[in-house]
Amino acid sequence: QVKLVESGGGLVQPGGSLVLYCEVSGFALNYARIGWFRQAPGKEREGVACISPNGSSRNYLDSVKGRFRISRDNAKSMVYLQAADLKPEDTAVYYCAADLGSYPANCAPLPQKGHFNYWGQGTQVTVSS
């Protein structure tokens, strides 16, 4: 059974940082392109970051470039999203998602949510003073 579980969200002050974790099971992570998405209240779910199966291709939403970094450890079945210099507009539920069907599985351009087959339940990130 394919499963993705996010953790690491919480309340953080503007300018602060945190790390989001995505633990996967039920499939070999080294075959999957992984995306981080977010959805704020009343807004569409948007792609934030993407990493290819071997990590050679990464891409980011323009508004988070230079502040967020996606990484993965296939041996540990883990994907990470390091978020720094957080802003109130980063407040959202953050989801990780796996794409097991695309080829090539690079991240340029940043792939749309329709490409991703499996999703986690999300973790809330709130940036507020």
CA separation for the pair 109, 86 (Å, rounded): 24
Residues 6+ apart with CB under 8 A from 48: 35, 36, 37, 38, 60, 61, 64, 68, 81, 94
- State the Cα–Cα distance between residues 57 and 70, nearest whole angstrom: 10
pLDDT at residue 95 in the model? 98
The tokens 């009343």 sit on which residue? 42
**What pLDDT does 102 receive?**
77
Give pLDDT, residue 97: 98
The residue among 17, 20, 40, 1 whose CA lies nearest residue 96 is 20
pLDDT tens over the chain, length 129 residues = 999 999 999 999 999 999 999 999 999 999 999 999 999 999 999 999 999 999 999 999 999 999 999 999 999 999 999 999 999 999 999 999 999 987 778 998 999 999 999 999 999 999 999
Q: Is the peptide bond before 109 cis (omega within 30 degrees of 0)?
A: yes
